[in-house]
Structure 1
């Protein structure tokens, strides 16, 4: 029976080899079962940060190479930008064969129209973040990034991450979670009964019943303690897998 895979929030980095190895194991399993895999969807934050397609770090080159082995087997790999890797661009897509989708995209998931997105745009209660999100994704920042040396971008990214980490400690989980009003608006805007997203690191299946209409919102988990994979099968069933990390020096 054919399946479609969904993952997000891996935050791959050179100091977390355990996550990288787990992801490579998943890619290998998909390759082994290629005849029964319809697609892999990566819903943002594949990398802990992305400074531009000119990044030549060993980890980046390895990940690009392994993803390309899937697409060369005609296994479609789709990507939606996250808040940490929104600068992934056309060169990355060309080198890997990945298809970059719009921030909010509706797919036909075995007969069910399903909205997929990273999810950070629905965190409307975190007003400070939304202002920052708008600024950091602006044309000015993208243009500036394209002409800034990779070494300087690394320093800037490090400063931003430290500030964000310290700032988030002062926020409640409710503020950093999605707004239910935003969720409702998304369901209405796209006229779907199913949604899949990541970002919040709060995996759960939310069920909404209103006016005799049932809707489901699947929240993907992050890859900090273990890998997290949501898999849909062509008969409409779904399953969640947590993938153990190997014991390795990080």
Structure 2
């Protein structure tokens, strides 16, 4: 049995091709896996689980999309695949209600799991980008339970407007940042590996899929980076007992 890991699908109503391809992937690849880990930015934006109450009345179309995704994940979970969800920088308000509807388990970021015979550190990856000081300041605020409670107490139309505003600001800010600022800080990668006593890390966020061979205190280490899904192509990592994790891209077909 294998374990599959994916990240950065950024599901939203404006990208139906990715949604349909993901649902097809779930009905195929995911059903054959022992476990599926989704490492953040599953949705392009998430303003709170009570969005599901809007149903078809949601002006953004996110509620019916989310209900459809949750139902599909639940079918996979009921078929025997354990499903795990991690928050990303886009969907950090994803909560237990959605997870329950999806038959999934919310996991912390970071989280250490055993893949095959090896302990592996799973992260979304944004916490490693410490050179982006403006984003790190926002991240600290966005992960604060009190701030989240204040946001969730706002009426849904105000939260929708705030989400649009944050996305616009993020896009404008990123267009003016140097490429290396938005990538991980090598020293932070080493520190995270040391802190958790592992030599392998898997994350997403940067949209720069690769396998990086590292040296950690004189010993070999690896950093796997998942890619973001596009209408024509997806990314996954497959981990099998006795084998190193395999990063691969594949054509998406609805």
Instruction: Give the TM-score, by structure 1 length.
Output: 0.92
Change (3 A) 1:212 1:163: closer
1:14 & 1:149 partners in 2: Cα distance?
21
For 1:188, the equivalent position in structure 2 comes to 194
1:32 & 1:199 partners in 2: Cα distance?
25
Counterpart selection for 1:55 from 51, 72, 76: 51
For 1:95, the equivalent position in structure 2 comes to 101
Q: What RMSD over aligned residues (CA atoms) do the two structures have, in Å?
A: 1.5
Match of 1:54, SS?
helix
Alignment deviations for residues 111-137 of structure 1 (CA, whole Å, 9 cap, x no partner): 111000101011000000000111122
For 1:232, the equivalent position in structure 2 comes to 239
Which portions of structure 1, spanning 4 or more consecutive aligned residues, are displaced by more than 2 angstroms?
A: 30-33, 209-212, 237-247
- The 8 Å contact of residues 115 and 240 in structure 2, kept in 1 or not, is answered as no
Match of 1:55, SS?
helix
For 1:142, the equivalent position in structure 2 comes to 148
Match of 1:196, SS?
strand
For 2:29, the equivalent position in structure 1 comes to 30
Change (3 A) 1:10 1:202: same
For 1:209, the equivalent position in structure 2 comes to 215
- Post-superposition shift, 1:31? 5.2
Change (3 A) 1:31 1:42: closer
**Structure 2 residue ranges without an equivalent (≥5):** 53-62
For 1:15, the equivalent position in structure 2 comes to 14
Does 1:159 find its partner at 2:165?
A: yes
**Structure 1 residue ranges without an equivalent (≥5):** none
- The 8 Å contact of residues 50 and 84 in structure 1, kept in 2 or not, is answered as yes
Change (3 A) 1:142 1:31: same
Does 1:241 find its partner at 2:248?
A: yes
- The 8 Å contact of residues 199 and 216 in structure 2, kept in 1 or not, is answered as no
Match of 2:237, SS?
strand
- The 8 Å contact of residues 31 and 76 in structure 2, kept in 1 or not, is answered as no
- Post-superposition shift, 1:227? 1.1
2:203 & 2:96 partners in 1: Cα distance?
23
1:176 & 1:207 partners in 2: Cα distance?
20
1:171 & 1:23 partners in 2: Cα distance?
31
- The 8 Å contact of residues 190 and 216 in structure 2, kept in 1 or not, is answered as no
